Amino acid sequence: MSFHGKRSVCCWLLLVCIFYFTCLHGSNASSLWTAYVNISFVNPQTNKTVWEDEESGLYGQNSFITSANGVVVLPDPLHGCSEHTVYDVPEYAKKKWIALVQRGNGCTFTEKITQAVFRGAVAVVIFNYPTLGNEVIEMYHPGAKDTVAIMVGNSKGMEIVQLMHSGAQVTLTIKVGKQHGPWMSHYSVFFISISFFIVTAAIVGYFIFYSARRLHTSRALNRRQKQLKADAKKAIGQLEVRTLKPGDKEIGADVDSCAVCIEVYKLNDVVRMLTCNHLFHKTCIDPWLLEHRTCPMCKCDILKALGIEQPDDEEASEPVQSVPVLSSAPESSAPLPTEDSLSETASSGYASVHEVDERVLEEENPIPANSMVRMEVLPHYDNLTFETEEDAPRYDNLQRVQT
C-alpha cells in the first residue's frame, strides 16, 4: 500500500475512535437522573411521624448517582456561600447530616457544595429560587464531584425550611430515580460499538489481504526474474563466441562498431554473435543479455529464438520461425553482407527480371517489320522502391524508334 493509502486508513481509524468515545461521553454526560426525596418528621400537634415520598429531585451533572440519608441542617445564612457560614448540627447527627441550601446570592453551586462538605455534610440539597412552574435544573459543579448533590423545587425546599423553623426534626432520604432524556441511549452506543468494530475489522482485514497479496506477487516476480536469468545464462552459453583475427571482415576502417560500448572492433577482440547475426563485444553484451535477453539493435529475444522460453498463450497459435544454432567454430561464420553488395544484388536482380519480361512480351506480341512503336526511356535506379515523385518517369518524354 502506498504512503497516501496508509495515511488515509490511519486518519479514518482515528476519526472513528474519536466519534466512538465522543458518543460514549455524550451518552453519559447528557443523561438526567431524577431523585426520590423522602422526608419524615414528627407532627407536633398529633405527635405522629409523617412520611412524604416523591420524585421531585434532580441529580447534579457531576454528582454521585447513589442514595444518601441524614438529618436536615440549615446554614446561616441560608444561601451558604460565605466561609463564615454556620451549620448548627445537633450532637446526635454529627456523623450523618444533609445540608439544605438555597440557590443564588452570587455564588456557584460548587462553592455551596464545597462549604457544606467541608463542615461534614454527607449530601447537599439545593432548592431553587421561586420560578414559574417550580422547575428544577441539572446543576453543574465540576469542583465538587465526590458528593451526592441534588436540586429540588422552591416549594419543596421552603416546605422543609418552614417545618424546621416550627421546631420539627426532619430526616431526609435520597434515592436514585430514573434516567431521562439522553440524546443517545445505551442501545445506540451498543450498535455504534458493533459498527465500529466491524468497520475496523474490515479495514484491518483488507490491509492484511492487500499486504499478503503484494508479498505473494513480489515473491512470484522474484522467482520469475531468477528463472529468466538462469534461462538467459543457458542461452548465452549456446551463442557463438570467437576471437577476431587478421583478415576478418569486422576489422577495418569502414566497419561498424560495437553498439554497446561504441568502439570499433580490434584485433584479438572476443566477440559474441547473436541469433540475429548482430555482433558485439563479449564483455559488453553478456551483462546486457542477462538483464534484457534481447538484442540491443533489433530487440530479438534470444530465449524464444533458441527455443528455451515457451511462447505465451497469445503467441502459441502463431508459427515460430526456428533459427538454427550457429556452430561454435570460430572460422565457420560467414562474413556480413555490406551495403555495396546488397545494392549490386538488388540491381542485378531487377535487370534480370526486366530482361525476362521483355523476352516474354516479344514472344507473345512479335513486332512486325517496318512498324513504328513508342518506347519509354526510363532512368536507371538501383532500387525502384526509393523513387520519389520528382524522379518518377514522365510519359511526355517519348521517342519514335525505327525497329
Q: State residue 218's pLDDT score.
A: 92
Which burial class, exposed, middle or buried, applies to 249 when counting CB atoms under 10 A from its CB (0-12, 13-18, 19+)?
middle
- The pLDDT confidence band at residue 217, using thresholds 50, 70 and 90, is very high
Task: Identify whether the C-beta of residue 40 lies closer than 8 Å to the C-beta of residue 69.
Answer: no
CA 223, CA 229: separation in Å to the nearest integer? 10
**b/e for 366-381, b at 16 or more Cβ within 10 A?**
eeeeeeeeeeeeeeee
- The pLDDT confidence band at residue 214, using thresholds 50, 70 and 90, is very high
Q: Where are the alpha helices (DSSP H) in 67-185?
A: 109-118, 154-165
Tens-place pLDDT, residues 252-284: 767 778 889 988 888 888 999 999 989 999 999
Spatial neighbors of 319 by CB under 8 A, at least 6 apart, are: none
Q: State residue 130's pLDDT score.
A: 86
Tens-place pLDDT, residues 117-150: 999 999 999 999 888 778 899 999 998 888 999 9
Tens-place pLDDT, residues 167-203: 888 999 999 999 876 555 566 777 778 888 898 889 8
Tens-place pLDDT, residues 49-83: 899 999 999 999 999 999 999 999 999 999 999 88
Q: For residue 61, which amino acid is it?
A: Q
Model confidence at 391: pLDDT above 60: no
Query: For 82-192, where are the E strands, in sequence order?
Result: 86-87, 97-102, 123-127, 148-152, 171-180
Query: What mean pLDDT value characterizes the chain?
Result: 76
Q: State residue 241's pLDDT score.
A: 92
CA 223, CA 248: separation in Å to the nearest integer? 42
Q: State residue 101's pLDDT score.
A: 96
- The pLDDT confidence band at residue 12, using thresholds 50, 70 and 90, is low
Q: Beta 123-127 vs 148-152: how paired, if at all?
A: parallel
Which burial class, exposed, middle or buried, applies to 73 when counting CB atoms under 10 A from its CB (0-12, 13-18, 19+)?
buried
Q: For residue 357, count other CB atoms closer than 10 A to its CB.
A: 10
CA 143, CA 65: separation in Å to the nearest integer? 16
Q: For residue 185, which amino acid is it?
A: S
CA 137, CA 139: separation in Å to the nearest integer? 6
CA 58, CA 33: separation in Å to the nearest integer? 6
Which has more confidence, 197 or 334?
197
Q: State residue 117's pLDDT score.
A: 93
Omega prior to 311 cis, within 30 of 0 = no
CA 197, CA 403: separation in Å to the nearest integer? 105
Nearest to 261 by CA among 281, 242, 238, 235: 281
As a dihedral over the C-alpha atoms of residue 214, residue 220, residue 225, residue 228, rounded to 10 degrees, the angle is -150
Which has more confidence, 28 or 260?
260
Q: Mind listing the domains of the chain with CATH numbers?
A: 32-180 (3.50.30.30), 239-332 (3.30.40.10), 349-402 (no CATH)
